[in-house]
Amino acid sequence: MFDEIETATEAEVFEVLGRYTAGNVGVVEAAIELSIAPDVFRDILEQHDIAVREPSKQEIVENVAECLHEMDTGDGYQYSHSDEKQVEEGISAIIERVNVDTDQFRLSEQRLRKQIKESVWKAKSENGDTADLFWSDMDDIHRTLGTQDRTTYTIVFPLNVVFDEVERPDEYDSLGYSVQAISSDEWDDYCDRAYEAEQERAEESDVINDRNKLEEWFSDSPNQLDRQGQTYWLMEIDALDPRYASDRCVEALQYLLGRINFALTRNQLEGMQINSSVWNTRWQDLRLPFIYLVFEDSDYLKFSYSTDPTPRRSTILAGHDASRYTEYFDEILSLNGSLNEMEARLVKSMSSFQDGVTNTDRENAFLDYWRGAERLTLTTETDTTSTVVQRARTVARSSNVVSQSTVRDKRNKLVHEGDSVEITTDDTNTVKDMLEVLIRLYVDKSGEWGHEEFLFFFEHADKSDAALEHLEDDRQSDIDMVEEIRQMS
């Protein structure tokens, strides 16, 4: 059997090895999934001159199409749970080849995947070669998506922030979107419309004893729509599907809340948390909404909710918090929707900061901060954790709490060795401090430095004056040579 094979896809190699080797098939499957191979796997391939190759465009479509079958009702397609992995992997491979920028067309990957499945089913249902018909259809996918009408989705939600000694803004700008404040009366109106729509759906449902989904959800939630200690907000987002609008809403809010919490904790260290509740405490309570009400062109569409069900305790902007908010909030720019590389790194690191400062688990908070620092120090897979610490030290040469080498060692044990490691408040404060000073560096140099300038800074900023002078001489020599070349040409 092996001798008849010259080239094979990974799926075909797995099938052959699964039938004809006495080794651990699970190991072989894992090797293929991870695109690595144990020695036995490699030896078998080399012994029989089997070259593993990427499946062709034809094969990808055929592999998906063979899993799709007509529904019993005759209305559309379906596929079994056992075929789900093959279908989804095939769709992922197709997406890599069609190269659709989902942000350009303002659609979610979920919607794109659905549209591609429908195109495969359409091609399979017609006369002719399924793959040829499908790829012919994909040639026009950019034009098709570009001509589809977008819908305005209105998303309303509460935030657990109260403006006591600070005037509530009419709106915030965040990543190119407007987060607009609405009154409690407007919020009540949106809630009433959502409840009425859910009640009507329950009454019209074919499911016996079907209940109002929104009412049912709140019966189990520790949060309520109309409680005190929160303010109400609205975002309007044009998109091809509601999932894209919801994703952009969450992204913009995560960055906005990160900016607020950054201002409230700037240059601060987390102290001892006193907990008088059954719920775990966190340093900052201001986080993403527990619920979103989504309207499509002013008609209620659905509600979605956070995977974090815990109570949203109010963040009250009064006293020192009001002063810190006023002084530091605008320090970090709102940014627009078109981000360059360094701005994108800043946005993701602010998200890590937001996750860390609101996390109830100290180990997870520690890792949240660390991931943000990794991103801003421009480390790659080949760099060690020492690189993160060394580059962060160019901005903050000494820690306010414990040594940065200590948190580096703890991070390595926690992530790579699986050891039981005690992460203390001092440890999280140290990595929080590392991330904070890096964020402030990026904010300070926003629009001035690109990737190369930041990398140059990290590689040389901790050098001695003598070393910097030597570096300056080397650079001047290069400049002189460039000028000499110009004069010779």
Residue ranges per structural domain of the chain: 2-52, 57-147, 453-488
Q: What is the pTM of this model?
A: 0.84
- What confidence score (pLDDT) does residue 280 get? 65
322 touches 165 (CB < 8 A): yes
Percent of the chain exceeding pLDDT 70 equals: 84
The torsion of the CA quartet 330, 333, 336, 338, rounded to 10 degrees, works out to -170
Beta-bridge partner residues of 315: 161
- What confidence score (pLDDT) does residue 408 get? 82
- What confidence score (pLDDT) does residue 294 get? 98
261 touches 354 (CB < 8 A): yes
- What confidence score (pLDDT) does residue 98 get? 92
Q: What is the mean pLDDT of residues 226-232?
A: 85
- For the chain, how big is the Rg over CA atoms in Å? 28
Nearest to 425 by CA among 300, 319, 261, 282: 282
CA distance 399 to 401: 5
- Better-scored residue on pLDDT, 408 or 359: 359
Percent of the chain exceeding pLDDT 90 equals: 53
Beta-bridge partner residues of 234: 156, 180
The confidence band for 252, taking pLDDT boundaries of 50, 70 and 90, is very high
The confidence band for 401, taking pLDDT boundaries of 50, 70 and 90, is very low
CA distance 78 to 118: 10
- What confidence score (pLDDT) does residue 27 get? 46
The helix/strand/coil state of 161 is strand
The answer, yes or no, to whether residue 43 has pLDDT greater than 90, is: no
Nearest to 178 by CA among 169, 187, 191, 168: 169
* Mean pLDDT computed over every residue of the chain: 85
**In what helix (H) or strand (E) does residue 24 lie, and over which residues does it extend?**
none
342 touches 442 (CB < 8 A): yes
